[in-house]
Amino acid sequence: MKKLTLICVLIATVSFAQKIQTGAENYKEYLPLLKGKTIGIVTNQTGIIDKKTHLVDLLVEKKIKIKTIFAPEHGFRGTADAGEHVSDEVDAKTGLSIASLYGKNNKPSPEQLKGIDVMVFDLQDVGTRLYTYVSTMHRIMEVCAENNIPLIVMDRPNPNIAIVDGPVLDIAFQSGIGMHRTPLLHGMTLGEQAKMINGQKWLKDGIQCQLTVIPCLNYNRSMTYSLPVRPSPNLPNDQSINLYVSLCLFEGTNISMGRGTEKQFQIYGSPDLPKSDFAFTPKPNFGDKDPLYNGIECNGEDLSAIPRINRLEIKWLIKAYQSCLDKSKFFDKRKFAIRAGNDKLQQQIEAGISEEEIRNSWNDGLRDFKKMRKQYLIYNEK
């Protein structure tokens, strides 16, 4: 009996030791930096600790003075649709003022920065340049550098950290969903990207901010990570997060990727695709008030139960293009190029270039990117 008890204790100890702790849970590293300071904080519903306490609530409890909460796309509580204007407001729980970074201003104004000694950034990314949180971080870094305000980035695991794949951004197609010369899947945390943005002098005029990254503990690049809350309304589970970037390319086409259903970014379809054994009808819901093909049956494919993928998957995009009834209406040239990061991918697909050849065309960019990013990585391979 004593031997069994000892084994159980050892198992419990090992399990505890291996528990990933986010930067926000790495208290001893950042609370001393905030003591006696007035802070601004960029965060949303993903800024939680131990799956229950929000970082804002913890800081209030620790008597850290918060002047303003700055909210990114989807708002502080994460309820706004993708691309929806987010208004300034007051947080009902704490009484703190909330300033939107996804409305009339995409970065804090000089007036909003008055009295702030330190800026804190805590958002959960999903590992692709298409996700707007990295663009929000870039702008925060820039405004902190311009106003000589130190920035603390609370790092969080990347649920797709093992995947580096896709075309590297052609800077001619730079946008709010692609600001940096990174591939579609970059395999970096936001903390690592912050170091890279600073180190590569990608901020305006090459300025650099006073940056501190609070690292995750017990974390390495071989680990999987299941997000405790939705990072945005249309990413409801691990499967959608894994498939997100592969299906997000469809946003530059006339294909729905499941907005207006309960399987967002896990299915795709269109009335312009041939009938198959799977169909769905988008309707307004929590993630989209007016989804593409609202109330219209879409024929397509259900990917919600496929095994986890370990690369950018373009076979569904190629398949949909080849089988669509009117190819002339498939691509929205501008929207697709911004998402792909170039105009070459559309040209390759339209020309019937093989998937293997398309992938090979990414190799030089991926090799150079991996070499450059190495100096900014915080977490090792196991």
Q: Name the packing angle between helices 315-323 and 238-248 (round to 10°).
A: 50
**pLDDT (average), residues 5-26:** 64
Give the integer Cα–Cα distance in Å for 318 and 327.
11
- At 52, the pLDDT band (50, 70, 90 cuts) reads confident
* pLDDT computed for residue 102 by the predictor: 77
Residue with tokens 């879409």: 298
Q: What is the pLDDT of residues 311-367, one digit of tens each?
A: 999 999 999 999 999 999 999 999 999 999 999 999 999 999 999 999 999 999 999
pTM, whole model, 2 decimals? 0.91
DSSP string, 112-132: HHTT-SEEEEE----SBTTST
Residue ranges of domains in the chain: 23-227, 238-351
Nearest-10 Cα torsion for 359, 273, 296, 249: 10
Residue-wise pLDDT for 69-116, tens only, equals 998 876 676 454 444 444 558 887 888 999 988 777 889 999 999 999
| Residue closest to 118 by CA, chosen among 90, 96, 148 | 148
Q: What is the pLDDT of residues 53-72, one digit of tens each?
A: 999 999 999 999 999 999 88
Q: Structure tokens of 49?
A: 């600790």
For residue 336, which of 228, 215, 240, 250 has the smallest C-alpha distance?
250
CATH code for residues 23-227? 3.40.50.12170
Query: Averaged over 269-274, what is the pLDDT?
Result: 98
pLDDT in tens, 277-295: 999 999 999 889 999 999 9
- Of 15-29, 184-198, 243-257, 306-320, give the lowest mean pLDDT range: 15-29
pLDDT digits (tens, 9 = 90+) for 112-166: 999 999 999 999 999 999 999 999 999 999 999 999 999 999 999 999 999 999 9
Partners of 98 in the β-ladder = 69, 89
pLDDT band with cut points at 50, 70 and 90 for residue 51? confident
Is the model more confident about 286 or about 270? 270
Token pair of 322 as six digits: 């080849």
